[in-house]
Amino acid sequence: MKMETLGRCPVCGSEHHSPYLVCKDYTVSQEEFTLVQCPSCGFVFTNPRPTEAAIGAYYQSTDYISHSNTRQGIIAQAYHQVRKITLRNKLKLINELSPSKGKLLDVGCGTGMFLSVGKADGWKVSGIEPDPGARSLAMKETGETIQSSILESYTNETFDVVTLWHVLEHIHQLDATLDWLRQRVAGHLIIAVPNFQSYDAQEYGKYWAAYDVPRHLYHFSQQTMRALLGQKGFRLEQTLPMPFDSFYVSMLSTKYRDGKTNYLEAVQKGFQSNQWAKHNKNNYSSLIYVFKKI
């Protein structure tokens, strides 16, 4: 598999980094990948990593639920039940930010479920999804044309709300994508990513499912997210929890560690993670960042 090595930190540009953790790809390849940390800004990233041309092979699994809509297995069924609630919460958030319900762009829209609920609620929706299978499902779900490439799409358009739900950590051309986003956002930019400073990340270590190597190229904290977007002219307005993620991630993490899912432990750890976050700087398993262009 063709690999590439980053010589500089994607956040601060430092040429120095040190090994942070070695994690295994439990979803597809069973290969191990190294995470490194920048000593200057604390950013953690997968390095080396598969090239953009090679990464597609690491998404070829029915376990990658957001691309397939599979309902096989208890974890997948739980994912779909929780998704009904999270879709309502996401819709509530964008309606609060933009009550006039203008133009919505979902980058990395997967199978199009968020766009579908947005459209039904009166939004003018657009989407981008690189994965061909997921894109086909999204077009069927929404009745809209879904674009395949971020940097080549909507180059003359702006949107009232642009969302990336667990997408930014997957993007190879991070700097160029953030520049592109700055040109597309007329109102708010919403980014949801895992938080490697959460309780469940610390508890499960190399087995923490949200490291999800090599598909997750970057591993964000609140500090590095604020720094990265600040450089591109965005001001952080809100940081919001995704409380269900700690349970889902803990289920997968016990499976990776033990070879089978420990549901009782996952519920306990998920609850403990959320309680811990309330008293530790809002460090939930995953966080939603709401930015406004400066």
Q: Could you give the CA distance from residue 232 to residue 102 in angstroms, rounded to a whole number?
A: 24
Cβ neighbours around 135 below 10 Å, total: 22
| Alpha carbon separation from 268 to 224, 248, 262, 274 (Å, rounded) | 29, 12, 10, 10
How far, rounded to the nearest angstrom, does the alpha carbon of residue 244 sit from its chain's CA centroid? 14
Phi, psi for 27 (deg, rounded to 5):
-85, -40
The whole-chain average pLDDT of the chain stands at: 95
Amino acid in position 274 = N
Q: Is 32 within a domain? A: no
Q: Look up the domain containing 94 and give its range.
A: 64-293
19 DSSP β-pair partners: 36
Residue pair 199/193 in contact (Cβ under 8 Å)? The answer is no
Closest alpha carbon to 59 in 28, 33, 26: 28
**Is the pLDDT at 73 greater than 70, yes or no?**
no
The amino acid occupying position 177 is T
| Residue 240 included in any domain | yes
> Residue 56 falls within a domain, yes or no?
no
Q: What would you measure as the largest C-alpha separation in the chain, in angstroms?
A: 50
* Predicted confidence (pLDDT) at residue 68 exceeds the cutoff of 60: no
Tell me, yes or no, whether 75 lies in a domain. yes
What type of residue is 260?
Answer: K
- 254: domain CATH number is 3.40.50.150
* 56: confidence class by pLDDT, cuts 50, 70, 90: very high
**Is there a domain that residue 6 lies in?**
no
Whole-angstrom Cα distance, residue 121 to residue 105? 14
- Which whole-number Å values give the CA distances from 132 to 60, 215, 217, 255, in the listed order? 11, 16, 21, 29
- Model confidence at 209, pLDDT cuts 50, 70, 90, reads very high
232 located within any domain: yes
Specify the number of domains making up the chain.
1
The model's pLDDT over 139-184, given as tens digits with 9 standing for 90+, comes to 999 999 999 999 999 999 999 999 999 999 999 999 999 999 999 9
| Per-residue pLDDT, 184 | 98
**Can you read off the two tokens belonging to residue 62?**
């029915």
CA–CA separation, 253 vs 60, rounded Å?
A: 20
Q: Is residue 194 part of a domain?
A: yes
SS3 (DSSP) at 186 = strand
In a domain, 218, yes or no: yes
